[in-house]
Amino acid sequence: MPTLPTLALFAAATLALLLVPGPAVLYIVTRSVAQGRTAGLVSVLGVHAGSLVHIAAAAFGITALLAASATAFAVVKYLGAAYLVYLGVRKLMRRSEAEDAQVKVASPRRLFGEGFVVNVLNPKTAMFFLAFLPQFIDPARGPVAPQVLVLGAVWVALGMASDGTYALLASVLAGRLRSSARARRRLDRGSGVVYLGLGAVAALATEGAKKL
């Protein structure tokens, strides 16, 4: 198991990376602005449920296989990009609602699922865990997999705290905007642009330790 100094150093490095907004933060903020605090927090849960997949992959060597295979990397990369572009196009093509129409919202299950899929299909997450976690692993302290799982749990806990803060702040600042039908239409368009941007980020992802 990692030593306490190792855990402390890992936590500090993780916080430094998490506090810099990236595509995952943009995704969560978009959901919070468009649908409110609960939607943002459910999206946070979905995103970090996806992180668990990458942690398990790192622990059992699947991430290493992905990094070694250009074909596998390309498949995951473009699947993720295609899904994000799909979300963006759907938002941009959504019909304008009447001023007094009821806003249609995604269910918590759908919000969770979308966050999960977005993170699982983002190859930058896998590359990050492949390059970052090994720096804190000491084979002399026992099996590698349990060490990765412990460090991954720290990552998820800190990630949920950081991303949850972004979700709460975004929902508070967006409260007035959501009360206006015109603003809601603009939010839909803005959300669509963000999703398209995330798709471009995924499509252009390169190997390396880059923050999600």
List, for residues 28-69, the tens digit of each pLDDT value. 888 888 888 899 999 999 999 999 998 888 888 756 666 677
**Residue 101's pLDDT band (boundaries 50, 70, 90)?**
very low
Alpha carbons 66 and 127: distance in angstroms, whole number: 9
Identify the residue whose tokens are 């368009």. Answer: 189
- Give the residue from 109, 128, 105 showing the smallest Cα distance to 32: 105
* Token reading at 194: 């963000």
Query: What mean pLDDT do residues 182-199 have?
Result: 68
What's residue 107's pLDDT? 86
* Token reading at 105: 């919202």
Query: What mean pLDDT do residues 13-38 have?
Result: 80
Q: What is the pLDDT of residues 132-153, one digit of tens each?
A: 777 788 777 878 788 888 999 9
User: Does pLDDT of 1 surpass 90?
Assistant: no
Alpha carbons 39 and 36: distance in angstroms, whole number: 6
Identify the residue whose tokens are 């019909």. Answer: 95
**Residue 211's pLDDT band (boundaries 50, 70, 90)?**
very low
What's residue 19's pLDDT? 76
Alpha helices per DSSP H over the chain: 4-18, 23-35, 37-60, 62-68, 70-92, 108-120, 123-132, 144-173, 175-178, 181-203
Contact 198, 110 (CB under 8 A): no
Which of 184 and 195 is assigned the larger pLDDT? 195
What's residue 17's pLDDT? 73
Q: What is the pLDDT of residues 196-208, one digit of tens each?
A: 776 776 566 544 3
| End-to-end Cα, the chain, rounded Å | 26
Q: Is 204 helix (H, G, I), strand (E, B) or coil?
A: coil
**Residue 168's pLDDT band (boundaries 50, 70, 90)?**
very high
Contact 87, 114 (CB under 8 A): yes
